Structure 1
């Protein structure tokens, strides 16, 4: 038996033990987060959807103590309706495990190319990145409060994969649709999947389930991905029309009034709101920020993020491009609780992959702040300022340019191509 096979057989039990220990630690952390945050967001959604299934209006529910109401689109309410039939803790566990799976898949997409580029093994780096991300406040809040932000994050990251495949297909000059239309449907679907033709579906689904991912629809258009933007818009409209078909009263109520209530879940001045609107409202000591100031600064910040995202994509860094859109969207949106600051994590990953030591030091400091206790972060508006600074200063990595082929030396004695020199 070769030596490599013997080493693999010896390492297999160790890997199994490490995977089992990692799984148990993950479950313990999820249980800790659920206990600490108490599924506060899911409790409101769970009760509102349950009353809605019983015949009441979805947006008429108010939590007895905080008076918070449901703030989810009808399409997401329909998707989460089966969870309302379960006890709250069981629903929280299912949503948390789905979020952990989405986080792990996102780590594969974001950290896998880094390992490949540096000649490292992909699995240890991916698991390490996922483990570090699990300890940060955005992930803790998303899992513990029972929010779907990790699932939405995974949907948008799926579009990043599709754009990678689409760009690779264009580089190979592969057609978007097979020329032979007589092929079976399964072959054409498989070809379309491999070519990345489904780019935009993830962002479209995320935009139909939440408000903040709507910025990715405009982002795809600015990035020059018109087909992906059209696919995303078509997907979002289709899912919204399906919600109108199954829940017409709630859909009309959502777009007619609930969507435009900026403080429908909690006051804008709440310390957890790390969006630009929340910072301005707290500085002005008013229930709402000055509208013109907020819109002017927010539009400028969004424009900077979109322009820099286009430059990052042109340089070949899709991760930085999507991250810049996510950072600008979180900063511009009226409500950005800690769970919606998830795009700070790929921003730290981009900084960590930089070749400059100063940026790596900033990565360590930024990660320490994301793991720090919540009052320290929110009391000084640290995440809000991080969103603003990274939107304007996040670097991107330039794709390596293949070296030109060396010129072929001309033979000293010209010989016909394919011929040979024979002796006299």
Structure 2
């Protein structure tokens, strides 16, 4: 038996043991997060959907203590309706495990190319980055509060895979309809998955389930990904119309009233709101920010983010482009709780990959803030200023130059003869 095969057989039990230990540690951390945060957001959603299934309006429920109400579109409420049939803890565990799976798959997309570019094995780097991300406050809050932010994050990141395949293939495999012979549906689906023609579906689903992903739909237009933008818009409209079909009263209530209740879950002045609106509201000492000031600064910040995202995509860095859009969206939106700061994680990954070894302390300091956020960090609006700073200063990585084609002589030289003799 070759030596390499013997080493692989010896290493297999070790890898299996490490995977088992990692899974147990992950389950323990999820249990700790659920206990610490108490599924506060899912509890409101769970009760509101239960009342809705019982005949009451979806948005009529109010939490008895802080009077918080459900703030989710009807399409997402329909998707989460089966969880309302389960006990709250069981629903929280299912949502948390789905969030961990989405985080792991997103890490494969974001960190996999880094390992390939540096000649490292992909699995150790991906698992290490996922483990570090699991300890950060955005992930802890999303899992512990029972929020769908990790699932939405995974949907948007999925479009990165499609855009990479579109850029790599340049549409070569997307012209199956030009052939004389029609292809079977499984072959067409397989070809569509391979060539990235499904780009935009993830963003469209996320935009139908939440408001913040609408910025990514706008980003696809600015990035000149017209086909992906059209697919995302079509998907979002289709899912919204399906929600209108199954829940007409709730859909009309959502778009006509509930969507505009910015303080429905908590006041805009809450310390956890790290959006620009929260910073301005606390600075002026008002329940809501001055509208003109907020819209003016937000428009400038959003425009800067979209312009920089377009430059990053032109340089070949799709991750940085989407990350800048996510940072700008979190900063411009009216409410950005700790769970909605999820795009700070790929920003730190880009910083760690971009900065030299002598400047890695910047990424390490940012990670330390995300792992152990103190209440004073929220009162000082540290994460809000981090969103603004990274939107305007996040670097991106240039795409590797294509390898030059090897030129061969038109008349091959016979073996054993020197090239000068052949001349």
Q: What band does the TM-score fall into relative to the shorter chain?
A: over 0.9
Give distance in 1, aligned partners of 2:358 and 2:328. Answer: 24
Cα shift readout 1:273-330 (whole Å, capped 9, x = no counterpart) = 0000000001111000010000000010000000000000000000000000000000
User: Which residue of the partner structure matches residue 211 of structure 1?
Assistant: 211
1:191 aligns with 2:191: yes
Give distance in 2, aligned partners of 1:355 and 1:95. Answer: 35
Instruction: Give the Å deviation of 1:24.
Output: 0.4
Which runs of 4 or more aligned residues in structure 1 lie more than 4 Å from their structure 2 counterparts after TM superposition? 405-409, 418-423
User: Which residue of the partner structure matches residue 41 of structure 1?
Assistant: 41
Give distance in 1, aligned partners of 2:273 and 2:318. Answer: 28
Cα shift readout 1:249-295 (whole Å, capped 9, x = no counterpart) = 00000000110111111110001100000000011110000100000
1:92 aligns with 2:92: yes
User: Which residue of the partner structure matches residue 223 of structure 2?
Assistant: 223
User: Which residue of the partner structure matches residue 178 of structure 2?
Assistant: 179
Q: Structure 1: state its 5+ residue gaps.
A: 410-415
TM-score, normalised by the number of residues in structure 1: 0.95
Distance 1:157 1:137, change over 3 A: same
Distance 1:293 1:17, change over 3 A: same
User: Which residue of the partner structure matches residue 393 of structure 2?
Assistant: 393
Give 1:343-382 correspondences, 5 Å limit: 343-357=343-357, 359-382=359-382
Instruction: Give the Å deviation of 1:178.
Output: 4.4
The answer (yes or no) to whether the contact 1:275–1:336 under 8 Å persists in 2 is yes
The answer (yes or no) to whether the contact 1:351–1:359 under 8 Å persists in 2 is no
1:296 aligns with 2:296: yes
Give distance in 1, aligned partners of 2:402 and 2:168. Answer: 15
SS at match of 2:268: coil
User: Which residue of the partner structure matches residue 29 of structure 2?
Assistant: 29
The answer (yes or no) to whether the contact 2:141–2:338 under 8 Å persists in 1 is yes
Worse-matched range after superposition: 377-386 or 207-216: 377-386
Give distance in 1, aligned partners of 2:95 and 2:89. Answer: 10
Worse-matched range after superposition: 374-383 or 214-223: 374-383
Cα shift readout 1:65-87 (whole Å, capped 9, x = no counterpart) = 01000000000000000000000
Instruction: Give the Å deviation of 1:356.
Output: 2.2
Instruction: Give the Å deviation of 1:357.
Output: 3.5
Worse-matched range after superposition: 83-92 or 349-358: 349-358
Q: Structure 2: state its 5+ residue gaps.
A: none
Give distance in 2, aligned partners of 1:152 and 1:173. Answer: 30
Give distance in 2, aligned partners of 1:112 and 1:405. Answer: 26
Give distance in 2, aligned partners of 1:342 and 1:418. Answer: 57
Give distance in 1, aligned partners of 2:78 and 2:174. Answer: 37
Give distance in 1, aligned partners of 2:131 and 2:412. Answer: 59
Give distance in 1, aligned partners of 2:337 and 2:343. Answer: 12
Instruction: Give the Å deviation of 1:404.
Output: 3.4
Give distance in 1, aligned partners of 2:413 and 2:49. Answer: 81
User: Which residue of the partner structure matches residue 106 of structure 1?
Assistant: 106
User: Which residue of the partner structure matches residue 167 of structure 2?
Assistant: 167
Distance 1:407 1:9, change over 3 A: closer
User: Which residue of the partner structure matches residue 413 of structure 1?
Assistant: none
Cα shift readout 1:122-178 (whole Å, capped 9, x = no counterpart) = 0000000000000000000000000000000000000011100111110x7444444
Instruction: Give the Å deviation of 1:418.
Output: 6.5
User: Which residue of the partner structure matches residue 270 of structure 2?
Assistant: 270
Give distance in 1, aligned partners of 2:127 and 2:412. Answer: 54
Give distance in 2, aligned partners of 1:84 and 1:333. Answer: 29
Give distance in 2, aligned partners of 1:227 and 1:76. Answer: 25
Cα shift readout 1:173-201 (whole Å, capped 9, x = no counterpart) = 44444432511111111111100000000
User: Which residue of the partner structure matches residue 118 of structure 1?
Assistant: 118
User: Which residue of the partner structure matches residue 138 of structure 2?
Assistant: 138
Give distance in 1, aligned partners of 2:144 and 2:298. Answer: 29
Give distance in 1, aligned partners of 2:175 and 2:359. Answer: 39
SS at match of 1:20: helix
User: Which residue of the partner structure matches residue 57 of structure 1?
Assistant: 57
Instruction: Give the Å deviation of 1:406.
Output: 6.6
The answer (yes or no) to whether the contact 1:176–1:192 under 8 Å persists in 2 is no
Give 1:226-375 correspondences, 5 Å limit: 226-357=226-357, 359-375=359-375
Give distance in 2, aligned partners of 1:114 and 1:356. Answer: 14
User: Which residue of the partner structure matches residue 158 of structure 1?
Assistant: 158
TM-score, normalised by the number of residues in structure 2: 0.95
The answer (yes or no) to whether the contact 2:173–2:191 under 8 Å persists in 1 is no
Cα shift readout 1:362-385 (whole Å, capped 9, x = no counterpart) = 100000000113413312111101
Cα shift readout 1:75-113 (whole Å, capped 9, x = no counterpart) = 000000000000000000000000000000001000000
Give distance in 2, aligned partners of 1:419 and 1:221. Answer: 53
